[in-house]
Amino acid sequence: MSRVSDKLQFHREPAPAKGRTLLELDIPSDLNLKFAYILRAVEALRAQAVMSPDDQKALELCLDEAIKNAIVWGNVQDPKKKVKVRLWEEDGRWGFTVSDQGQGFTTEILPDYDSEEFLWLDRGRGIYILLNYASEVAFHDNGRTLLVRA
């Protein structure tokens, strides 16, 4: 593991239900539909005045990476599987969980984000982006649920 990934938490148990739920979505494992759901999530937060304009870009980027990873790596783009998203607010900050129906994973498969080799990989940037934009990044349920907090 690298210094960057020291922020990453990994838990076997399910994610705790944090904050006040603002929106819950069941998303089909179809990358073509992803952006429409991200817009719904952003609008839900904007309606609650929980984010600044800078937060909006961070939320869009974090949700995009989290949903894409759940569809591609978790559900392996199986159209029969769904991705569940729960958007929440706690103490004036936003957060979300994204859960897939995949097999889960362990941290051993993650690249060393501080290595020169990482710069040339054609994958593995999603978690790296989350670690740089969020104050909390945690995987639960053996990697099937991602919890992100601003």
Domains in the chain and their CATH numbers?
A: 4-149 (3.30.565.10)
Percentage above 70 pLDDT, the chain: 97
pLDDT in tens, 57-83: 889 999 999 999 999 999 999 999 999
pLDDT tens sequence across 9-22: 999 999 999 999 99
In this prediction, residue 1 has a pLDDT band, given cuts at 50, 70 and 90, of very low
* Structural contact between residues 44 and 22, judged by C-beta atoms closer than 8 angstroms: yes
Q: Which of 69, 88, 90, 61 is nearest to 27 (CA)?
A: 69
Reported pTM? 0.89
Decide: helix, strand or coil at residue 138: strand
pLDDT in tens, 30-56: 999 999 999 999 998 888 877 887 888
Cβ atoms 137, 8 nearer than 8 A: yes
